Amino acid sequence: MKILIVDDSKAMRMIVKRTLRQAGFGEHEFAEAVDGANGYEQVEAFKPDLVLCDWNMPNMSGIELLQKLKSDGNHVSFGFITSEGTGEMRATAAENGALFLIAKPFTADTVKDALKGIIS
């Protein structure tokens, strides 16, 4: 499985990747993007099976990326790992087709639970 990690923080991209390994998903192929616009390019080039995305980023936010992908007819599995997790954000994410929203800080167990049934 190919997983794209989209976050404007290099440190956070590394933390997400490390947490995925700790959760038992280390054998999958990973790619990274520095913001939503770069994420959009990477979806086209890398063809991921899953996008794990931050919400607040420069150039294109995570929700804008999800909306653009859906409007283009791309239905890649998509979830948020972000610093905020308000009820409104969770509702907006779900309305736009996100499978989950994990608020930071998170653990390997949190990630494993969110990805159960998405990643085999």
Confidence of residue 84 (pLDDT cuts 50, 70, 90): confident
Q: What gap in Å lies between CA 25 and CA 19, rounded to an integer?
A: 9
Q: Read off the pLDDT of residues 41-67 as tens digits, 9 standing for 90 and up.
A: 999 999 999 999 999 999 999 999 999
Give me the CATH number covering residue 98. 3.40.50.2300
Task: Please state the domain count of the chain.
Answer: 1
Residue 20 covered by a domain: yes
pLDDT digits (tens, 9 = 90+) for 100-109: 999 988 999 9
Residue 17 lies in a domain: yes
Counting residues of the chain whose pLDDT is more than 90, the rounded percentage is 91
The verdict on residue 120 lying in a domain is: no
Q: With respect to residue 12, please indicate whether it lies within any of the assigned structural domains.
A: yes
Q: Is residue 38 domain-resident?
A: yes
For 13-40, the DSSP string reads HHHHHHHHIIIIITTSEEEEESSHHHHH
pLDDT band at 120 (very low <50, low <70, confident <90, very high): low
What residue numbers bound the domain in which 27 lies?
2-115
- In this prediction, residue 104 carries a pLDDT of 84
pLDDT, average across residues 23-36:
96
